[in-house]
Structure 1
Amino acid sequence: MTTQVEEALQALGARLRGFRKDAGFTSGRAFARATSWQESKVSRIENGRQRPSEDDIRIWCQATGQNDQLGDLIAIVRHVDELWLDLRRLLRTGAEQRQQQAIPVYGKTRVFRIWHPTVIWGTIQTSEYAAAVFDQVVGFYEVPDDAEAAVAKRLERQRYLYRGEKIFNVLLGEQALYTNFGGPETMKGQLDRLLAVMRLPRLSLGIIPRTAPVAIWPGNSFSMFDDRLVLVETYSAELSVTQPREIEMYTKAFALLKQSAVYGTAVRELVLRAIHHYDQLPTD
């Protein structure tokens, strides 16, 4: 959980605690008996350590005589859901819709800051590499197989590399050159694509070598869209960061990561070395 989610849950919990006390329940134990809940659940909700469900909110409001607050509280719970969105729910109809949702965000953004320690950033992927990625997504999340359509939507974002005044600051970990999606031929095609896009005038491609001293631990991948939104993905959820104080932390992290990166000729050498690695591997 990030600070923004924690703060939202803590504020909600404090409000619910006030409702409980105003209704005459002097302790969490008394309220637990009235609702047939475990006392520990009451404590976790009031202290912001557990996200209450919408049904929990309904029971709480009914037990404390605060039904007029129900709509507002459910809106808060849904806002927390938006901040921390379960990926299986996000992908329940397949991966194409999620890729479609990203296109307007890209259209509105002028400056991108991208950090991917182990995977090539989606907007500069080849179709073969993207297909291998989405095959894994479909299998892992057990969602409808629309990988081909998802690849097409992802590749639509590439048009922004060539038009307008958008600026792309992309950082990859050297491991991204070696994380093998699709086999040697797919990887060599993807690495050749990197050599091409690094020549684009408004795209800066940096790579952090595996042995480079780092000023900050690599952490999860993240994508920054101007100074208004950061998207962070884990295996289970996608986090949308919009609070200015938290966005400043990602800005600082990106700047520290850049200190370890190499650019230009050094990037080309790392990519060519990775291509040579795949040349040595047997193909199917």
Structure 2
Amino acid sequence: MKKKIGRTSWIPTILFLIYGLIVFILLYVTIVSSFKSKTEITTNMFGLPQQWRIENYVRVIQDEHFLTYMLNSLILLVGSIVGLLIVSSLLAYGQSRYQFKGKAFLETFILFGMMFPIQLGVLVNYQVINAMGLISTLLGLMLVYIGNMSLACFLFMKFFKQLPGELSESAKIDGANEFQIFYKIMMPLCKPVIGTVTLVCGLQIFNDFYMPLIFLYGDSRTAPVIIQTYVQNFLLFIDVLFPMVVINIVPILILFIVAQKQLVEGLTAGAVKS
């Protein structure tokens, strides 16, 4: 028997269509405007450019050296995500698979960490990183992002807890040690969670403006910080601002396309009991 669809069932669909249309228009305007002159951007915002100006991208790359800051953002993204995956997966594996004193407190501490944004600890983090001599270095900010592992730990813990204990027991019988069990058996099963953590945390790290503004100076700054400096003088740099935004969203699109399947699987893992 088919379930009758009510009128209210169409409301989320309509809202998503409206949201998608708005995003498409903004993306279209951004891409098209990146090939226009200053005058044409202000007088013909929604139309196609009369002359496609590749000079805007040439200026961004050669004169403004934007690729240098993009490289900083990519290095920061890759280093932070790799470190975050390693540390959070190891912590979550030990927390979910073994019994020890303080286990309940540690799990509560991790859950509380999800309630507070990383920006609240900026002063303490700055003092620690400064004491280590890593201020204005990508490595210093990587350590800050890796320390903000509550969400990643939570996702890994939920996944590890639903895995049957017979997997590790069978591996021990075959002579595998703890590291081999973790690396060769558990982690390959965690691809959905790895994709979810990479996408969710990666978007936060790559688009973060506040923490790089505080921790990084000079040539070590990231792309969002540089873009914001041009936004402050929007009308003056409008012809180079749009190409910067287009270049900046390319890694995000690639990351989403690669990890979108794992994102859905990771978020729905354990939602239905078999």
Please report the TM-score for the alignment, with normalisation by the length of structure 2. 0.26
Structure showing greater relative contact order (alpha-carbon pairs closer than 8 Å, 6 or more residues apart): 2
Give the number of the structure whose residues are more often helix, by fraction.
Answer: 2
Give the number of the structure whose residues are more often strand, by fraction.
Answer: 1
